[in-house]
Amino acid sequence: MKRNIYNILKGTFLVSDDAFKNWRFILFISGLALVMIASSHSADKKVYEVARLKNEVKEMRSAFVDGRSKLMMLKMESHVVKEMQEKGLVVSENPPQKIKVKTQN
């Protein structure tokens, strides 16, 4: 047991006769480490993208609410009357009358 630890610390396990098995295992572990690092970077990138999109959704939602409130103000009768008075049109004093058309068969 003590001898194996000394061999690992000295690095003789990499140059001995059965070193090919050791090198294959080391390369396999290195490849797995690279895949793990790439996966971690990809996950971090997606987290940042999700956070950016959430902020964008909040901005768009507030712009939508602001636009909807402006539209409500523009559709109010008092605003329409004021705009039409500037153009020379006034509110009729007589209420509108329904026109009924009778068809003859």
Query: What is the C-alpha to C-alpha distance for residues 100 and 96, in angstroms, rounded to an integer?
Result: 13
User: Residue 101: inside a domain, yes or no?
Assistant: no
When the pLDDT of each residue in the chain is averaged and rounded to a whole number, the result is: 90
User: Residue 98: inside a domain, yes or no?
Assistant: no
Cα 90 to chain centroid distance, Å, stands at: 49
User: Residue 46: inside a domain, yes or no?
Assistant: yes
Structural domain count of the chain? 1
User: Residue 102: inside a domain, yes or no?
Assistant: no
pLDDT of residue 60: 98
pLDDT of residue 54: 98
User: Residue 23: inside a domain, yes or no?
Assistant: yes
Q: Look up the pTM and report it.
A: 0.55
User: Residue 72: inside a domain, yes or no?
Assistant: yes
- The length of the chain in residues reads 105
**Least-confidence region, from 14-28, 61-75, 87-101:** 14-28
User: Residue 26: inside a domain, yes or no?
Assistant: yes
Domain with 66, as residue range(s), is: 2-86
Residue showing tokens 């993208």: 49
Per-residue model confidence as pLDDT tens digits over 70-103: 999 999 988 999 999 999 888 888 888 899 988 8
User: Residue 49: inside a domain, yes or no?
Assistant: yes
CB 22 within 8 A of CB 13: yes
